[in-house]
Amino acid sequence: MNQMLSDSPPANAATDPTVALDQPPPTVEPARFVKPQRVAFVQSCWHRDIVAESRIAFLAEIAARGISPAQVDLFEVPGAFEIPLHVQLLAKTRRYTAIVAAGLVVDGGIYRHDFVAGTVINALMDVQLRTEVPVFSAVLTPQQFHEHATHFDFFRKHFAIKGVEVAEACADTLHALERLRGQVAAGMV
């Protein structure tokens, strides 16, 4: 059984020659959720000013997709390495329909940053698979990061983009899971 929505996309000039080219595109309401959604957003404090951009963008985009920022609980942890345990404890509460993790892992010269990043991502995936609570990552590991204004500005903008992307993935996944669970409950799958 296909999870795709059966609704046809709205007609536009590219798909229907009877639609005038000068008409504005139709306003699309965000798809409504069947059940209330509650999301946890776990953010590391290391480079807080940069990582916060993902949270700000996430909250704006998730609101546009039908989940009020009041339904998003924010949590901070010291660094990215501490994110997975926090995410696991939150997932085990069964209070959240999704959890988002955000952090910046940079090469501090003490240990390999790629090891830390890989460990964090693998642990987040493990939590997701064991608890069946979707976990989304905006934990980023740049190849190069230097403590100067150019890099700070670049990564602030990049984290804002990632905040939007993770909100899109979160909302789309929650809708897909609602459809799938409905199909399972109806004996269709």
CATH of the domain at 100: 3.40.50.960
CB 132 within 8 A of CB 71: no
Question: What pLDDT, on a 0 to 100 scale, did the predictor assign at position 67?
Answer: 96
Bridge partners, residue 103, by sequence: 139
Contacts of 22 by beta carbon, 8 Å cutoff, 6+ apart: none
Whether residue 151 is contained in a domain is answered as: yes
Q: Are strands 39-44 and 98-104 parallel, antiparallel or unpaired?
A: parallel
Please answer whether residues 44 and 77 qualify as being in contact, where contact means their C-beta atoms are separated by less than 8 angstroms. Answer: yes
Confirm whether 25 is domain-assigned: no
- Distance in angstroms (rounded) separating the CA atoms of residues 107 and 47: 13
Amino acid residing at 156: R
Structural domain contains residue 22:
no
Q: 85: which residues sit within 8 A by CB, 6+ positions away?
A: none
Count of C-beta atoms within a 10 Å radius of residue 124: 22
Q: Let me know how long the chain is.
A: 189
Query: How many separate domains does the chain show?
Result: 1
Phi, psi of 101 (to 5 degrees): -115, 135
Beta bridge mates, 43: 76, 102
pTM of the model: 0.81
Active-site positions read 112
Domain assignment of residue 85, yes or no: yes
List per-block mean pLDDT (blocks of 10 residues) for the chain, which spans 189 residues: 48 56 61 89 92 96 96 96 97 98 78 74 96 94 67 85 97 96 92
State how far the Cα of 74 lies from the Cα of 96, in Å rounded to an integer: 12
Q: What is the pLDDT of residue 16?
A: 58
pLDDT at 154 (0 to 100): 79
- Within 10 Å of residue 115's Cβ, how many Cβ atoms? 10
Decide if 113 is inside a domain.
yes
- Residue 183's pLDDT is 94
- CA-to-CA distance for 54 and 136, rounded, in angstroms? 12
Q: Which domain holds residue 103?
A: 39-185
C-alpha of 28 from chain center = 21
145 found inside a domain:
yes
Contact 37, 94 (CB under 8 A): no
What is the pLDDT at residue 155?
Answer: 81
